[in-house]
Structure 1
């Protein structure tokens, strides 16, 4: 089989296409023919060497969709369409940047769908994170309220914007690029706020003097403390992204979390395997019904994986980047 192997920490050039043996199934694991994999910034940071637990060489990829090729679980017969997310994929064991992946049975989520592979591949990590983060914030259908999404032009941000709009939540979405404002409007954002030179606090207070009821922070470490100042007293901030890294240095909770304000987090590992299957199927059904439309930035062949990482690293993508391991290279 062909796989994109991260040979060592470094730039996109360390992702090399290699011929590897197709893994053999073992007890508790099944072989998946990978038809599509969404790219994520956590893979970029792992590639750069910022994941101390990861050893190289490693096939990256924390998510994938495909069909079961060889199963050790009667609940996952050969030919089943499945998705897999997290659970140390692409970190402790090889992940989705390959034509086949050997994955633990408890990670595999069987789904029913007529969606093409590129569309299905854009959904698992992105939509499970968006849906789970909004649930963690306490946003309910038709529940009302004001939501600020930071890092909204990320794939998760666009998905969360769509879901919130469908729930009738008044939503403000931030971007650092005027060129991406239209994509946020198209996703259903009521307000698009430029998070550039002007202090975002001033921009948000001009819109909502008391602040939003909820802040979904997808930028993460660099903005989490600022988000606590933006939300209204007694509001909730959920950190569900790490576009700026994983650590908040010199964090003093008592001094930095305003009294009564809630700081929480959502991690998609919460919805892996059976725990996420029903949620993912609901998302798939909504996409098939036209309620939601995944935002796919670009689709790459496996041979073009380095180009895909360069685009992601340069923050050029608006929405989800997808790789199709069996597609022919385009040279882009």
Structure 2
């Protein structure tokens, strides 16, 4: 198997560390550059002792300079950077011939107006939006194969979009009644100093946040609208819970008249029976974060509430893996013609 020379830009955060954890042992990857302004000049195993003796452990963090990254021979770069920052370096690396897998929000939205509405500033690279592919492997595999710029989905959107898409495509639910409640581990907020994220603030506590207009709502509604072929607006309530990682989401919607549990199950099976990283639990089975953390799987179960004629979709994933780094590597595998599971079969 040919090894692809690869860079990670922004490799010292939680998502960057998840990318490192997988790419250091990926059989088709040769890491040639890892960047971090804060850790520049330090060896990889000095910053992350857990990677001591791993392949490429002696690699030194460098500044995120596009010329320097390109000079290492990197053919593809993962961008684990904040929104608003990623677009500039994405453009520079594209101009130098690299393929980009961006884990920020900069290229997820098709509309620059919606981006500005949700992120509070004008889009930094509107001319690249048409080129970007929303990199949800289960629904965009063919587009990902030929993409040069992949916008890897957010963690909450992945947990909400994947269970809902088959139901919307088959016209099984009233999309005006969709309500999604998600709970996420603290690592979802990133590796930063923040009073609200201190141990004593989060431990033994659970709270809603980002209500009523969390930023991820923009890409959720975009993708659901594409599936429904009309505008979809939903209620989304995210919560912070005292675990390191993992997202569990419960999404409800009113069933269209006459829709049965068998039709719901058939729609999910038809969409995902052959999907490498979707595990369908079936009716009456609740997804559990304990079963998916540190893996690239998303588990999906469902139940029917006959009293209210609503379907209850239950999903769980690791916010750093299927919701971030692992999913980006899944797209990397597709781009380069590898089996989607390559390097990601962590149980």
* Structure with bigger RCO (C-alpha 8 Å, 6+ apart): 1
**TM-score, normalised by the number of residues in structure 2:** 0.32
TM-score by length of 1: 0.33
